[in-house]
Amino acid sequence: MTSFRALGVASSLACLAVLILTSSCSDSDDNKSPGPLTCANPGGTVNGAADSHCGSNATTIETASCKGSGTTSFAPSLHVAHHDAGHEEDAGASEYGPTLSNGEGDDDECKYHVKWAPASDTQVCANGDVYFNVTVSTKVDGAPARNVPVRPDSFLNDTHPSVPRTTSSSETSPGVYRVGPVRFDAAGNWTVRFHFHEECNDGEHSPHGHAAFYVSVP
């Protein structure tokens, strides 16, 4: 009888230890997905003046100028306010254009026209994983931009990035990409910058590009 009682106690302690360890790991894992959330008044675009910074200007993209890896999965990284991996200019100077309102506009260097919207299976809510549908076309002819790695970079301000997440992009139809997840941890008007072909060095005709939009988070 004593041996069975001891065995039962030992088994209970072992289970308790597993539960404690599992809970501890779960609490510290920022990359664990809580799944999509719903909220009474989901966020989305921030209305404003239509983008016109490119006008009729359109930059021709020379895809042969970049022999990139085609990476579609990106490890978590904190927001860097003034430069990214593809830029070779001084880090102290901003290489980015202004953040755009509404759900579409041209990228900073007039290479792409970009449209975005929350994916149909997610809502823009705080503290949940949000995915975006991003449509990318070449500015010079309006053709779908194919096989473009897209990385989201999101921040409330220069000292408040979104929760670090491993993100990915997949082309669901010609020129349309499912991008995310992004996890906003506070209400406000966030900036989400979409980076295109970040594996390419920046250049006048390089496929490397980026466009930023305001996203309202309730």
pLDDT tens column, 141-188 = 999 999 999 999 999 999 999 999 999 999 999 999 999 999 999 999
pLDDT over 50 (residue 78): no
Burial of 84 (0-12, 13-18, 19+ CB in 10 A): middle
Pairwise pLDDT comparison (6 vs 169), residue with the higher score: 169
Q: Please state, in angstroms and rounded to a whole number, the distance separating the CA atoms of residues 26 and 176.
A: 34
C-beta atoms surrounding 88 within 10 Å? 10
Domain 57-76+96-217 -> CATH class: mainly beta
pLDDT over 90 (residue 8): no
Confidence (pLDDT) at 40: 85
Q: Please state, in angstroms and rounded to a whole number, the distance separating the CA atoms of residues 84 and 86.
A: 6
pLDDT over 50 (residue 207): yes
Provide the whole-model pTM. Answer: 0.77
Burial 183-205 (b: 16+ CB within 10 A, else e): bbeeeeebbbbbbbbbbbebeee
Q: Please state, in angstroms and rounded to a whole number, the distance separating the CA atoms of residues 155 and 191.
A: 6
pLDDT over 60 (residue 140): yes
Confidence (pLDDT) at 202: 87
